[in-house]
A and B are shown apart, each in its own frame.
Chain A
Amino acid sequence: MSTAIDGGVRAAFRAIADVLIPAAEGMPAASEVDVHGPVLDRIIGLRPDLAERFFRGIGAIAGLPPETAAVQLNAADPQALAAIGLVASAAYYMQPRVRELIGYPGQEKRPGNPDETPEYVANGMLQQVLDRGPIFKPTPKA
C-alpha cells in the first residue's frame, strides 16, 4: 500500500471528498476549497494515526465512480471511510471561506468585563434562585 500523496491519491480523495461534502445548502463542495491541496499534506502530517486507514481506503476505491466508492467503502471498511471523511471535513472547516459561511471565527479571544454587573444579577433572575433558599443537606449533628 502506497503512503505517498501523489497525483492519483489527490484525485481519488478529491472525488470522494466531493461526495461526502458536495456543493449544497449554500456551501461549496470540498474540492472548491482545495481540500486535496496542501492542507491534505498538513492534516496527514498532523494526524499520522489516520494515514493507514486513509491510504487503505483510497487504495480500495481506485477506478470506482465516486458515489459507488463511498457506498462500497462504507459497507466494506467503514473505518477507512471514517478516516477519509475526517480528513475531508477537518480540511474543509479549516478553510477561511467555509468558516465565514458558517459564521465561525475560530477559537478567538473574547474577554469579558469582570467589573460589569452580570445581567442575571441586575435583572433579578438570580434572586429567584436565592429566594428558594438553601438546597443542600447539612452535616448531620454527631
Chain B
Amino acid sequence: MSGKTGGARRDEPVDVLIVGAGPSGAVAARYLAAAGLSVVALEQGHWPDAADFPGRKREFELAAQKRWHPNPNVRDLPRDYPVETSASDINPLMYAAVGGSTTLYAGHWTPFLPSDFRVKTLDGIADDWPFTYEDLLPSLEEIEREVGVSGLPGNPAYPPQRAFPTPPLPIGKAGRKAVEGLDKLGWHWWPGTNAMPSVPYNGLNPCVRRGTCMTGCPEGAKSTVNITFWPHAIRSGARLITGARVREIEVNDQGLATGAVYIDENGRERRQRAAVVIVCANGIGTPRLLLLSKSKRFPDGLANRSGMVGKRLMMHPFSAVLGVFEDELDGWMGPFGQLVESFEFYETDASRGFMRGAKWGAMPGGGPLGVTSFVGSQIFSAGEGGMVEDVWGENLHKLVARRFNHCLVYGIIGEDLPEESNQVVLDPELTDSDGVPAPKLLYKVSQNSHDMLRFHVARCTEAVEAAGAIETVVVHQVRDTGWHLLGSCRMGEDAATSVVDQWGRSHDVPNLYIFDGSTFPTSGGVNPTATIMSVALRQVRRLIAQRHLQEAA
C-alpha cells in the first residue's frame, strides 16, 4: 500500500476500500486514515439526521412500528435490501445508514466474557476463538474510551478492567424493582452498562433518559459511529460515499481483490479500485456480497473455497418476560438501554439440560402502546382468534391502567450455537431496489436454544415474582429480534474450515479482509457491538502494522 495521505477523488484508486459504514467499518476507517492511508468507504444508506428521529414527537410509538422498525422488511425503504425469511424462525434486524444498525440499537454495552472465547475447551462444543479475552482486552478498553461508555466498574461477572469513561446512568424505579427481586434470590445484578455517556463526551451529549433509543436518539446521546468515529476519520482524510450499493468485489488474474463495483444514488454503475478491500457489511450483508462476487476463479463466491461463506449464521434467539407491579415505575423513562443486567446464569451448568447461558437486561416498559408491544412489534396481545373484548372496550382501559407505568421487561439474550445448516444464501428471485439479488435465510432455532430460553424465562419469572409482580407475561422466542447477525464468515486458522484468519484476512484472497461480526466463531450470550468494535480495532491495528508486507493488486 502506498500510504499516501487521504483525500482521494472519486474513482481514483486508494489504499483501502471499506464496504459498510457501521461500527466495524468506522473503526477501520478512523485508524487507517489516521495512519496516513488513503481510504474510501461505500455505504448503501445515508447520514442519519437526528431531526428525523421521532422520539420528541407525539406519534413516537406509531412511527416505531413502521418507519423506524428495525426489520428492513417492515420498513421497506429503498435503501434497505429485503431479506427472504420464509425459511427462518427469526427475522433479521438491521439499518442501512452511516452508523449501521447502531442507529436503532439499544446501546447495551456487554463485551464477551472470557469463557465465550473458549467454548470448545470449557464445554466441549462449538469452537474456541483464535485469541482470548485477555488478547482482546486492550482493544476493548480503547474502544470504550472512544464510545463514551457509561457504567460502574467492578462487575464481578467480568475480570477487572479499566474504569468506564463516564459514570453510570440512573437505574430508575424500574431498575430498583428488578434489583429487589434479584437481591431476594441472591442473584447477580449490576447497574446497566450502556453505550450512552452520562456526561458530554466525544461529540455526544449526555443521556437525558428520553427513552426512545431504539428509534434513533434525538438528543445525540446514544453512541453511534456517525458521531464518535466518522468525523475523526473524515478529518484524517477518509472519504465516505453514501447511497452506494456494492454489488460485487472484483479480482484480477492473480486472485487479488482489485476493488468493488457499486451502484450510486442515481443508479449509475461505478467502480472503486483499491489495494486492499475490507468488508464490514454485517453477518448477512457480508456473505451476500461474497456470494454475489462469483468469477471463474471463485465460482462458488469470493473467499469461499472452504464452502463456509454464509454458513453458521447465529442470531441470538430472544425471549422476554414482562413483570407488572402495583408501584409506579416511570415505565416510559430511559435509558432503553438496560437499567440493570444480570449474568447469574451465564456460564454453562450441564445439569440444566443445555449448554452455555444467557444475559438478562432489565428495560422499561415503554409508552401506552408499549403495553402490548416490544420494540415496535405486537407481542403481548390476545392474538389470532381472540374476542373483541379481550383487548378492547373496558379491558383496554384496564390493561393500560394495570400495565402502563407499572412494567419492567427482562430481555433474555441466549448464546446461539453455530450450526452449518443455519445459513445465508442468495434468493433466486427477490432483489433490492437496484436489482441486486437479495439474501435468503435458512435458520432454525436449535433445541439447545429452545431449552436455554425456557430455563431463563422460568428464572426471570421467579425474579419478577420475587420483586412483587402482580402479573407476568412471557413471550417465548420473539420473531422480530434478530439484532445480532454473527458467524456467517467464520474466522479460524484452518483454511479448510474457515473464511478468514484471526486478523480478518481471507484465506483465499490475501488482500481481502472481513472485520465485522460475521467472522465470530461463536456468538456469546450478550449484545455483540462492544466485541465487534474491539475485534475490528485489533485487526486494523495489525493491518496497519503489517502494511508494508501486504500483497496488493
Hey, what's the 0/1 contact readout for B386-406 against A, CB within 8 Å counting as 1?
A: 111001111011101100110
In the complex, B295 has a CB within 8 A of chain A: no
Query: Which of B188-196, B238-246, B484-492 has 4 or more CB atoms under 8 Å from chain A?
Result: B188-196
In the complex, B332 has a CB within 8 A of chain A: yes
With both beta carbons as reference points, the residue of chain B lying nearest to A93 in the complex is identified as B368
With both beta carbons as reference points, the residue of chain B lying nearest to A67 in the complex is identified as B388
Complex formed: what's the CA distance from A136 to B347 in Å?
7
Q: Closest approach, in angstroms, between the C-beta of B91 and any C-beta of chain A?
A: 17
- Select one of B59, B168, B393, B405 contacting A104, CB under 8 A: B405
> Given the complex, which residues of A lie within 8 Å of B156, measured CB to CB?
129-130, 132-136
With both beta carbons as reference points, the residue of chain B lying nearest to A133 in the complex is identified as B156
Q: Given A136-B347, A139-B118 in contact, is the A114-B166 Cβ separation under 8 Å? A: yes
Number of residues of chain B lying within 8 A (CB) of chain A = 76
> Given the complex, which residues of B lie within 8 Å of A102, measured CB to CB?
368, 400-401, 404-405
Q: Secondary structure of the B side of the interface?
A: loop
Interface contact A46-B62, CB-CB below 8 Å: yes
Hey, what's the 0/1 contact readout for A103-142 against B, CB within 8 Å counting as 1?
A: 1111111111011001111000110111011111111100
Interface contact A24-B157, CB-CB below 8 Å: no
Q: Closest approach, in angstroms, between the C-beta of A48 and any C-beta of chain B?
A: 9
With both beta carbons as reference points, the residue of chain B lying nearest to A79 in the complex is identified as B384
Interface contact B118-A130, CB-CB below 8 Å: no
Interface contact B168-A43, CB-CB below 8 Å: no
Interface contact B62-A74, CB-CB below 8 Å: no
> Given the complex, which residues of A lie within 8 Å of B206, measured CB to CB?
111, 114
Q: Given A94-B58, A118-B171, A139-B133 in contact, is the A25-B208 Cβ separation under 8 Å? A: no
Interface contact A42-B59, CB-CB below 8 Å: yes
Query: Which of B43-51, B109-117, B262-270, B535-543 has 4 or more CB atoms under 8 Å from chain A?
Result: B109-117
> Given the complex, which residues of A lie within 8 Å of B400, measured CB to CB?
102
- Cross-chain pairs A/B with CB under 8 angstroms, 17 sampled: A46-B59, A46-B63, A47-B62, A47-B65, A70-B388, A74-B387, A102-B401, A103-B405, A105-B332, A106-B367, A112-B209, A134-B156, A134-B159, A137-B115, A138-B114, A139-B117, A139-B118
Lowest 4 A-B CB distances belong to which pairs? A25-B397, A112-B170, A109-B208, A114-B198
